[in-house]
Structures are given as structure tokens and as C-alpha cells.
Amino acid sequence: MDILDISAYNQQKAWEIIETTRIISQWESIGATVHIVGSLKTGLMMKNRDIDMHIYTDKISIAESFKVMYRLTEALSLKEIQYKNLIETEEEYIEWHALYEDKENNIWKFDMIHIHKGSKYDGVVEKVTDAITQKLTPKIRETILRIKAEIPEEVSIAGIEIYHAVFTGGVRNYKELEYWRHTNPLINSLDWTP
């Protein structure tokens, strides 16, 4: 399969997983609004099987957030869960990261950010995601997917750093990306849009 086929396949699988796990409806059961963000939303998913979600509620209840995760743990084949409480910071959210094993024994990572509606970062990532999507051309999409495919398995680079390098720096391959990251670090990813 070429990179476009791999990307399309992984995106299709991600949407199927969202549907079969009923993960969105679990969050909606506590009155949350769920937004898919990141590479799945932009169509730039490659070999990293990450499903990024921003989950908004009028107030953040630790108990309600744990209730959803408890139900997901009972219903799904979750292999690992990480929790981070940032409610008392300017971010005003709870981070959940869960590893899920699908029927083909592939591991998917759910990144679920439970955010206080109306807080400082409400909608920020969604705006960046929409801006990336609007400025994608077939050539830029292929360049980003190729770079993602070239990144060695042991190296972890956030997608937003790749998008920054391609849109802002004209980076065209992994070697150029490494140089760009050292000479033009993305200090605050929430301040950048293409």
C-alpha cells in the first residue's frame, strides 16, 4: 500500500472504532459535547493510531469524568489508562489517555481532553484543526503523510510540529524536518495556525 492508502485505511478504521466503541455517546451521557480533532479530523492520520477528542462540559466533575472512564473500561479492551488533573490550572481540563486493542490486535490511543466549556482554551485546537484542513492541498497532504511515514518508530514528533514545518518552513522530508525543529522550535503550538 502507498502512503495515501495507508492513511485512508487507518482513518476508516478509526471511524469504525469510534462507532463500535460508542465512546462519544459515553461522554454525551454526562452532558458533554465531543469534538474530534487532530490527524483524524484533518485526514492526516498515518501510522500513529491516535484518536484525539476534546470533550466539553459546563463544569468539570472529576467523579463524572471517572464514571465515563469506568464504563469504558468495563465495555472495551483497554490496556492502559493515564489520568492527569489540570482543573486548577489555566488549562482547566482533565487529560485521559487510554490504549485500546482492536480485533486485529492493533493498539489505538484515545487522547481524551475533558475541558471546562468557556475556559481559555475552549475551541483553540478546533480552530487550528480547521485552519489546517482548509489550507491542505493534495501536494501538502502527501508531503505531510510521507514525512510521517519516514519518522523512525522510536522517534515521537507531535503532528502539529510537522504541520508547522511544512506550512511555515516548506519542509519536504524527515531530514529537513529534524533540521527545522532544531532551528525553528515550535514554542507554543496553541499560538500557531497555518
76 band by pLDDT with thresholds 50, 70 and 90: confident
Tell me the pLDDT tens digit for each residue of 95-143: 999 999 998 999 999 999 999 999 998 999 999 999 999 999 999 999 9
Tell me the pLDDT tens digit for each residue of 148-184: 999 999 999 999 999 999 999 999 999 999 999 999 9
Q: What is the DSSP string of the chain?
A: --HHHHHHHHHHHHHHHHHHHTHHHHHHTTT-EEEEEHHHHHT---SS-EEEEEEEESS--HHHHHHHHHHHHHHS-EEEEEEEEETTSTT-EEEEEEEEE-TTS-EEEEEEEEEETTSTTTTHHHHHHHHHHHH--HHHHHHHHHHHHHS-TT----HHHHHHHHHHH---SHHHHHHHHHHS--S-GGG---
